[in-house]
Amino acid sequence: MAKVHVTTTINGEPMEFLCEPDDTMLDALRGPLALTGSKEGCASGDCGACSITLDDRLVCSCLMLAVESEGHEIGTIEGMAQGEKLHPLQQKFLEMAALQCGICTSGMLVASDALLKKNPDPTEEEVRFWLAGNLCRCTGYDKIVRAVMETAAEMRAQ
């Protein structure tokens, strides 16, 4: 069957790729695009491990078709660091040990970044509700929530 040709923008770079019509964006990222930072947890929109941004809106890449990215802007975990310099959220997650096995981490980071862009001064409750779609088996969430709160405070102070 004929593959579909898709032209899109990923982390600010123009990209083209071929995919099956029923490939998800996550399939395309992890397959032809070789961007394996986005993880597949549930493949049904429940766990958030595959979180990306689509035109700056947080979405699950397992719940969109790859062909739907045509003409849109995709943001993934690979676009968060500036070269060797980690994003403040990434740095803080490391410092505060806000991760264990790491499967949920890229989704947590992409989701937290989307929150802080929208709301630089969230309450702990807002952080917890915002991250309700990102499941983690290991950390108990507290360290993640604290890392997000602390990063937000530091970013506001700059």
Regarding 46 and contact with other proteins (CB under 8 A), the answer is yes
Distances (CA, A) of 143 to 19, 39, 94, 150: 38, 20, 11, 10
Tell me phi and psi for residue 79, to 5 degrees. -95, 5
**Rounded Cα–Cα distance for residues 131 and 109 (Å):** 10
* Residue the block writes with tokens 């803080």: 92
Regarding 103 and contact with other proteins (CB under 8 A), the answer is no
* Cβ–Cβ < 8 Å for 150, 91: no
Stretch that binds other proteins, among 44-52, 79-87, 88-96, 139-147 (CB under 8 A): 44-52
Regarding 136 and contact with other proteins (CB under 8 A), the answer is no
Interface pick for other proteins out of 28, 29, 62, 144 (rule CB under 8 A)? 62
Nearest distance, CB of residue 52 and other proteins, angstroms: 9
Interface pick for other proteins out of 121, 129, 138, 153 (rule CB under 8 A)? 129
**Rounded Cα–Cα distance for residues 85 and 46 (Å):** 31
Residue ranges binding other proteins (CB under 8 A): 1, 4, 20-22, 24, 43-46, 48, 51, 54, 57-60, 62-65, 67-68, 70, 111, 114-115, 129-130, 132-134
